[in-house]
Structure 1
Amino acid sequence: MKNLLKLEELGQFMLSIILFNQLEYAWWVFIVCILMPDLSMIGYFTNTKIGAILYNLFHHKLIAITILSLGLWLQYSPLTLVGIILFGHAAMDRVFGFGLKFEDSFKNTHLGQIG
């Protein structure tokens, strides 16, 4: 089952690449931006609760889809780009086993323990 879920996430990551390709940005923009949502881990310098809240906010696919949809509806490509990057990053993280975080530990995720 775990491999099936990872394949599903890989498909979603590939979808983010396809969606990005529909925008008029150079490919280096995708490469530079795809790791930016991990800056949300800065909240862990405060404590695990704040860290988990910030991390989950930037890695929640419904938020990404909402931003992406709003960008498409408004025909505003920077907002569309943000939604695609958030969606693609969350999918990429889950391919590697990094899920949404619980407040007790960075390693405790909705996909199980990291490591």
Structure 2
Amino acid sequence: MRSIAAVRGGPRLILRLEGLALFSLATAGFGLSGLSWWLYAALFFVPDISFAGYWAGPRKGAILYNALHSTIAPAVLAGLGLLIAKPLLLGLAAIWAAHIGFDRMLGYGLKYSSAFNDTHLGRIGRQSEDA
């Protein structure tokens, strides 16, 4: 089994706890938006459409997955929502950020181009270091 660069020990736990904090706060933020919880439920797993990128290979899959699982885009969307006072944009950003936090909390990190299972939080799946 090949070795990947991944955070370990206490820092890994901190990153997973950060994921929990992001998930919790983004979900609470969505609740303050006044939007329907049906919207939250319907859109929560939409960033996972990025898995389809792996049909084009691990490099392209990792690029698409990381683009939809980085906090940069939802932060920009939230900033735009604040700037133009659009609660819908704030709510969408909150759902997106909550999904990212949920994944991080579970140990799903940003992907390396070597394979879907290789993440910055360690290997996931059947051959993970935790298994």
Once the two structures are TM-superposed, the CA of residue 5 in structure 1 deviates from its matched residue by: 2.8
* Number of equivalences: 115
Q: Kindly indicate whether the alpha-carbon contact (under 8 Å) linking 2:59 and 2:114 is maintained by their aligned counterparts in 1.
A: yes
The 2-side partners of 1:78 and 1:55 are apart by: 24
Higher relative contact order (CA 8 A, sep 6+): 2
The 2-side partners of 1:53 and 1:3 are apart by: 25
Alignment of 1:104-115 (within 5 A): 104-115=114-125
Once the two structures are TM-superposed, the CA of residue 6 in structure 1 deviates from its matched residue by: 2.1
Identity of aligned pairs, percent? Answer: 35
More displaced, 96-105 or 6-15? Answer: 6-15
- Kindly indicate which of the two structures has a greater share of residues assigned to strand: 1
Once the two structures are TM-superposed, the CA of residue 85 in structure 1 deviates from its matched residue by: 1.7
Once the two structures are TM-superposed, the CA of residue 15 in structure 1 deviates from its matched residue by: 0.4
The 1-side partners of 2:92 and 2:50 are apart by: 14
CA RMSD of aligned residues (A): 1.3
Once the two structures are TM-superposed, the CA of residue 81 in structure 1 deviates from its matched residue by: 2.4
- Kindly indicate which of the two structures has a greater share of residues assigned to helix: 1
Structure 2: give runs of 5+ residues left out of the alignment. 1-9, 126-131
For normalisation by structure 1, the TM-score amounts to: 0.91
Structure 1: give runs of 5+ residues left out of the alignment. none
For normalisation by structure 2, the TM-score amounts to: 0.81
Once the two structures are TM-superposed, the CA of residue 106 in structure 1 deviates from its matched residue by: 0.3
